[in-house]
Amino acid sequence: GMAAVMREKATHVYFDGPVIDTCGTGGDGAHTFNISTTAAFVAAGAGLTVAKHGNRAMSSVCGSADVLEGLGVQIELDAEGVARCLRDAGIGFMFAPKFHPAMRFAGPVRREIGIRTVFNILGPLTNPARARYQVLGVASAALAEKLANALARLDTVHALVVHGDGGVDELTLSGSNLIFEVRAGHVPRQMMVAPEDVGLERAPREALRGGDVAYNVALVRAILSGEDCGPRRDVVLLNAAAALVAGDVAPDLATGVKMARASIDSGRALERLHRMIAVSRGEA
């Protein structure tokens, strides 16, 4: 109910064609680097149009808005600016306070609390571009199932709600991840997926730690440019693969991983970042 109200009150971004949103509810205290943001560029490089919807850090050091700003993206765009990014760069970022004006006043309170609030959970359900395809990361297994059922009621075409091993709000490399699939109004299946099931190696959680904005910006660049070929690249491939499956571009996660790898190795993922920077700043 509350999500539907927030969707109504949001400023809408009009884009002709299917878009996917990738985000997490945060609040997992895992302090990983910006995995879903990096994966968004990889998914865009593989052909998806990604409408990312996010905010500054609430419970981590560096949120999606912080890292994108650090990379040079103009994050405070209006609906028209975001639509231009979606059209010309294949990826756009909607800075939550600009799109949910009613939520502005909650921001300082959320930072004060610093832990998961109803707003963290509502955020992913209220994409202003009305994304019908979604990957939603959730730090609690019980909440993952509830959110899968909520998405099924919000006219989602295809979504994956993921709960990472060890209570992380994205797919991880340390063990088996729980995934609920949402398709056209129902939740047809749930599955467990470990990295080795899709051709990736296991890695401990510590290998995926992020740092401050400058550190995470350097990491995103290193992964997208193909310099970083370790577990951090692997976890991005896994999460990009989930987006490619949810966006109906890949038939399964193993194929999605291969497509994600090709997106980076061909230079297309990095090119999406450069396009987004240029278009967001009005230089393209």
Q: Return the HEC string of 30-48.
A: CCECCHHHHHHHHHHHCCC
Question: Beta strands 158-163 and 133-137: pairing type?
Answer: parallel
Q: In CATH, which of 3.90.1170.50, 3.40.1190.20, 1.10.3720.10, 3.40.1030.10 is domain 2-280? A: 3.40.1030.10
Q: Which of 22, 43, 34, 260 is nearest to 131 (CA)?
A: 22
Q: Which of 271, 248, 267, 240 is nearest to 137 (CA)?
A: 240
> pTM value?
0.88
Low-confidence ranges of the chain (pLDDT < 50): 105-120
Q: Which of 90, 21, 11, 31 is nearest to 271 (CA)?
A: 90
Paired residues of 180 in beta bridges: 161, 190
- pLDDT at position 115 is 41
Angle at 132 between CA 82 and CA 164, to 5 degrees: 95
Q: How far is CA 29 from the centre of its chain?
A: 17
- pLDDT at position 47 is 96
Paired residues of 51 in beta bridges: 92
Three-class SS of residue 136?
A: strand
- Contacts (Cβ under 8 Å, ≥6 apart) of 212: 61, 62
- pLDDT at position 174 is 98
- pLDDT at position 110 is 44
DSSP 8-class letter at 52: E
Tell me the residue ranges of DSSP E strands in 130-228: 133-137, 158-163, 177-183, 186-193
Q: Both tokens of residue 281?
A: 């700043």
pLDDT > 90 in the chain, percent? 63
Distance CA 235, CA 173 (A): 6
- pLDDT at position 132 is 86
Quick: pLDDT tens for 165-222.
Answer: 999 999 999 999 999 999 988 998 999 999 999 999 999 999 999 999 999 999 999 9
Cβ-contact 50, 20 below 8 angstroms: yes
- pLDDT at position 101 is 56
Instruction: Name the residue ranges covered by the structural domains of the chain.
Output: 2-280
- pLDDT at position 129 is 56
Tell me the residue ranges of DSSP E strands in 37-172: 50-54, 91-95, 133-137, 158-163
Three-class SS of residue 114?
A: coil
pLDDT > 70 in the chain, percent? 83
Tell me the backbone φ, ψ of residue 27, rounded to 5 degrees: 65, 20
Q: Order of strands, edge to edge, in the sheet holding 20-24?
A: 91-95, 50-54, 20-24, 133-137, 158-163, 177-183, 186-193
